[in-house]
């Protein structure tokens, strides 16, 4: 990636809102890679209302997440819905697969917090600790998924193989799409395919978090 490209990426937010420096305009005129990126972001921007509607989980789930987040002491003053909206707004300029992955991470980590951590409240010393260090999202995601599967195996052994097999199928295609995308980063068909796989994974994990599914048999 050229230095000019990196500069453009830093100013993308302002650029998409119509504030472009002459240097950026000049760069955009000859850089096809950045033209494609801007076009892709604009298409995401246009589709954003639809994406938000599609990805909106059940209101009850948000309520559960909100309660759990308050109970954990993760949020004190600002309402959770506002916090999530800010997060989405922050991540909206990302390409569609990244948005789906972002949604997935929020859903999964929140779900794991609700399902497995509410029974063990943090100690006062932990609550007073300084802000947590940056999290390795990919590792967190894999770890959370494995925790959920193990917990379902324990609580609902009848349903566990179904989710395990279906998650394995989706993970296989996520991996395949990701590898294809690494070889051909600009391919919108592969991006679309990766986005679909992530969305399906989010649906499966959301279904696993259903109280009926995570109830002891």
Residues found near other proteins in the complex (CB under 8 A): 54, 158-159, 162-163, 165-166, 169-170, 173, 176-177, 180, 183-184, 186-190, 192-193, 196-197, 199-200, 203-204, 207, 210, 212-213, 216-217
Nearer to other proteins by Cβ, of 17 and 182: the residue is 182
Report which of 60, 44, 41, 61 is spatially closest to residue 52, judged by C-alpha positions: 44
Nearer to other proteins by Cβ, of 24 and 197: the residue is 197
Nearest-approach distance from CB 101 to other proteins, in angstroms: 16
Nearest-approach distance from CB 190 to other proteins, in angstroms: 6
Nearest-approach distance from CB 62 to other proteins, in angstroms: 17
What φ, ψ does residue 209 adopt, rounded to 5°? Answer: -80, -5
Nearest-approach distance from CB 96 to other proteins, in angstroms: 13
Nearer to other proteins by Cβ, of 106 and 204: the residue is 204
Nearest-approach distance from CB 199 to other proteins, in angstroms: 8
Burial class (CB in 10 A: 0-12, 13-18, 19+), 107: buried
Nearest-approach distance from CB 208 to other proteins, in angstroms: 9
Nearer to other proteins by Cβ, of 80 and 198: the residue is 198
Nearer to other proteins by Cβ, of 77 and 212: the residue is 212
In the block, which residue shows the tokens 């890679």? Answer: 33
Burial class (CB in 10 A: 0-12, 13-18, 19+), 64: buried
Letter string b/e over residues 149-185, b meaning 16 or more CB atoms within 10 A of that residue's CB: bebbeeebeebbeebeebbeebeebbeebeebbeeee
Residue 94 corresponds to which tokens in the numbers above?
């990302």
Nearer to other proteins by Cβ, of 24 and 156: the residue is 156
Residue 53 corresponds to which tokens in the numbers above?
């509607």
Residue 55 corresponds to which tokens in the numbers above?
């990805």
- Total Cβ atoms within 10 A of residue 20: 16
């Amino acid at each position: 990636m050229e230095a000019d490209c990196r500069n453009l990426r830093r100013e993308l937010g302002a650029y998409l809102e119509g504030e472009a420096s002459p240097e950026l305009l000049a760069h955009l005129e000859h850089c096809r890679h950045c033209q494609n990126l801007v076009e892709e972001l604009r298409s995401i921007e246009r589709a954003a209302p639809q994406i938000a509607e599609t990805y909106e989980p059940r209101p009850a789930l948000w309520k559960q997440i909100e309660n759990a987040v308050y109970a954990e002491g993760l949020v004190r003053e600002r309402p959770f819905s506002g916090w999530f909206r800010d997060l989405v707004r922050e991540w909206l300029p990302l390409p569609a697969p990244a948005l789906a992955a972002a949604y997935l991470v929020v859903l999964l980590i929140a779900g794991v917090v609700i399902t497995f951590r509410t029974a063990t409240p943090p100690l006062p010393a932990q609550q007073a600790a300084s802000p947590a260090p940056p999290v390795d999202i990919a590792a967190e995601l894999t770890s959370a998924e494995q925790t959920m599967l193990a917990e379902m195996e324990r609580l609902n052994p009848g349903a566990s193989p179904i989710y395990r097999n279906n998650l394995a199928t989706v993970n296989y295609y996520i991996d395949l799409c990701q590898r294809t995308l690494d070889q051909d980063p600009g391919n919108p068909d592969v991006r679309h395919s990766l986005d679909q796989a992530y969305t399906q994974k989010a649906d499966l994990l959301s279904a696993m978090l259903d109280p009926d599914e995570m109830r002891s048999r």
